[in-house]
Amino acid sequence: MTPTLEPGGRYNSSGQGNSMPLPTADWTASLDRMTAAIDRTLTDLDQYQAEWAPLTEMPAVATPPELLLTWLERRLTQWDTQLTAAADLASTVEKQLDDRATAVSRWNAVFARWRESLQRMLAPGGTVSG
């Protein structure tokens, strides 16, 4: 016997009166969710491609050398700007770290003098003035 689809969405595998409803509503809802997820993913990919195109696209092979040189100079200028900003930031951080290291050294020296002073006062024969 050939399976049949009866009116009302019922599936009959034996061809006899014993039929089971098909879960078409669940399948349709699942397919709709998958379609929406794929659409969102494609939109995200299109957005990613548009945002990164200036950094990833290479000029065509048939491009004249003058245009290639202009393109390369523009790209180098962009990188130079970013590297200069990174160097400035690194310089600022290095100065802050040096300032903190100097302050810690001063505090360490002060505490060392206090400790020596306390040890002299507490040592046998040390004098405590008050």
**Where exactly are the structural domains of the chain?**
1-57, 64-123
Return the DSSP state at 20.
E
Q: What's the pLDDT score for residue 59?
A: 61
What average pLDDT does this structure show over 25-45?
Answer: 94
Is 83 a residue whose pLDDT tops 60?
A: yes
Ramachandran assignment for 8, one of left (phi > 0), alpha (psi -120 to 50 degrees), beta (any other): left
Is 23 a residue whose pLDDT tops 90?
A: no
Question: In this structure, which amino acid lies at residue 55?
Answer: L
| Cβ-Cβ contacts under 8 Å for 59 (sequence gap 6 or more) | 67, 68, 71
Residue 111 CB-density burial (10 A; 0-12 exposed, 13-18 middle, 19+ buried): exposed
Q: Specify the DSSP element, H or E, that contains 4.
A: strand 4-6
What CA–CA distances, in Å, run from 89 to 43, 53, 93? 35, 27, 6
What average pLDDT does this structure show over 37-50?
Answer: 93
User: Whole-model pTM above 0.85?
Assistant: no
Is 113 a residue whose pLDDT tops 90?
A: yes
Q: What's the pLDDT score for residue 17?
A: 53
Q: What's the pLDDT score for residue 38?
A: 96
Question: Are residues 57 and 51 in contact, defined by beta-carbon separation less than 8 angstroms?
Answer: no
The three-class DSSP label of residue 118 is helix
